[in-house]
Amino acid sequence: MKHYLALALLAGLLMSCRATGFETAVRDAADRQLSVYPESTLRDLYKNFFQDRFGPGHLISDTAAAGNYLRKELASYTRMEGAMAEPTGWEGNFYRVNLSVIKMGLVPYSVYFDAFVRSVNGHRGPSLKEWKRQWEAIEAILRPVYAGLPGYEQDRKAIEENLRRGVYQGDHSERFEAHYAPHYRILAREIYEKEILPFLGASQADQPRGGTAE
């Protein structure tokens, strides 16, 4: 009897440690985003955690069109904002890699684009049921700390309704877009670390960048 009780206590302790680790990682991810992008809303936090599980959230069936769109976006802006690269969500399965690394000549376009395509088409996300359950757990951790974010309850209900209808993907909030004008693509962590990071240098990769592209 004592043996079974000890096993039960050990199992409970392990589950508690896992839960604590998950909660800490979720809070750290939210803190990281809000420290760099203080105008973020719950929608933007959702997108961050979503991208960590799903990557960009869609396959690239037409690489030529995707390449044309990327080149147009590169030509459309001069202001570089945010970090060169930053991990997504609480697991860091993907990185948001700023297009400025191409514009500044740090990473060749062909290397970046190839890494992007393989990151997208080489990943399959969880089921809707699994993701809905995980998002509910994430939001429960965020709520006590971040319920004061602008439009939090409205965003929470909108995300909940989208998931009920089977809509996974979320967009950046208008507030975020207005303040930061993000320009990045999502790259798988393994591909980023092996193929992109060497061009950037470990000391530069997570540093916020600002200024005007030449």
50-109 pLDDT per residue, tens: 999 998 767 788 899 999 999 999 999 887 777 899 999 999 999 999 999 999 999 999
- Which tokens belong to 192? 């980023």
Q: What is the pLDDT of residue 204?
A: 53
Predicted pLDDT of residue 181: 82
**In the chain, which residues have pLDDT < 50?**
1-18, 203, 205-214
In this predicted structure, what is the pLDDT of residue 191? 96
The pLDDT score that the predictor gives to residue 15 is 42
- Model pLDDT, residue 202: 56
Provide the Cα torsion 158, 31, 211, 120; round to 10°: -60
DSSP letter at 212 equals B
What pLDDT does 30 receive?
A: 97
Nearest 5°: phi and psi at 187?
Answer: -120, 140
What are the distances in angstroms from CA 39 to CA 89, 121, 175? Answer: 17, 31, 7
Distance of CA 207 to the CA centre of its chain: 16
* Pairing assessment for the beta strands 82-83 and 208-209 based on DSSP bridges: antiparallel
Categorise residue 77: left if φ over 0, alpha if ψ from -120 to 50, beta otherwise.
Answer: beta
**pLDDT tens by residue, 81-90:** 778 999 999 9
Contact 186, 56 (CB under 8 A): yes
Q: Where are the domains of the chain?
A: 2-209
